[in-house]
Chain A
Amino acid sequence: SAVISQKPSRDICQRGTSLTIQCQVDSQVTMMFWYRQQPGQSLTLIATANQGSEATYESGFVIDKFPISRPNLTFSTLTVSNMSPEDSSIYLCSVAGPGGYTFGSGTRLTVV
């Protein structure tokens, strides 16, 4: 299965600022998925990132708040823009595989 390197692993950010999270996959993949887990909540899909096209966002998530880049088949970034304390979450990227999805190690974000 694929190996995903995700960074940063954690950050503490001031409200109103932005943070960009990076995921590098060791093989070429068509779709990459970005998830968020707010405290006490389920892992929730933010968007699906396809190479060469705009990301597809789930209900409740918008491009202005969570812009995504997918410049090639092994890399993607998610930016959390104009952060507020409600954005404090664990953010995960993932790719699909035959034995289930492979996830990055997560970015634990705290907004103060």
Chain B
Amino acid sequence: ILNVEQSPQSLHVQEGDSTNFTCSFPSSNFYALHWYRWETAKSPEALFVMTLNGDEKKKGRISATLNTKEGYSYLYIKGSQPEDSATYLCAFMNGAGGTSYGKLTFGQGTILTVHP
């Protein structure tokens, strides 16, 4: 059973604060690490797909880094806004052969609430 852990479980910040969350995953059989944002009553939305150790990706005020050797990824939000309130999910994509290949294992998510 693959272990994908996210911390913290929930986070309350004030508008304008910068924040970050952590995703830890197995350092073996790595293929890719996904980040998703899931707003209530909507579909999960893909933010980043990261594949290379040392990768840094950015989309507006949101950025992510990847360390495959130690098995962690950080998601950063700069200047949080109320519309950033959502659950942020990371998912580990397995590179092992056989029936495990390509499957996503999700963390439990970090629930972010940004207060005006």
Contact = CB atoms under 8 A, between A and B. Distances in A.
Interface in B38-72: 41-44, 46-49
Given A56-B99, A105-B42, A100 B106 contact: no
Given A42-B108, A44-B106, A99 B43 contact: no
Contact of A101 (B42, B46, B48): B46
A45 B42 contact: no
A34 interface: no
Interface of A: 1, 4, 33, 40-45, 48, 56, 92, 96-106
Contacts, number: 48
Given A99-B49, A104-B43, A42 B106 contact: yes
Interface residues of B, number: 22
B96 interface: no
Interface string B99-114: 1001111111100000
Nearest to B102: A96
A48 B46 CA distance: 19
B43 A42 contact: no
Contacts of B99: 56
Interface of B: 4, 34, 36, 41-44, 46-49, 89, 91, 99, 102-109
B67 to A, nearest CB: 20
Contacts of B89: 43
Contacts of A102: 43, 46
A105 B40 CA distance: 10
Contacts of A105: 41-43
Given A45-B103, A56-B99, A100 B108 contact: no
B23 to A, nearest CB: 12
A92 B46 CA distance: 14
B46 A4 contact: no
A40 to B, nearest CB: 8
Nearest to A45: B103
Contact of B4 (A33, A41, A42, A100): A42
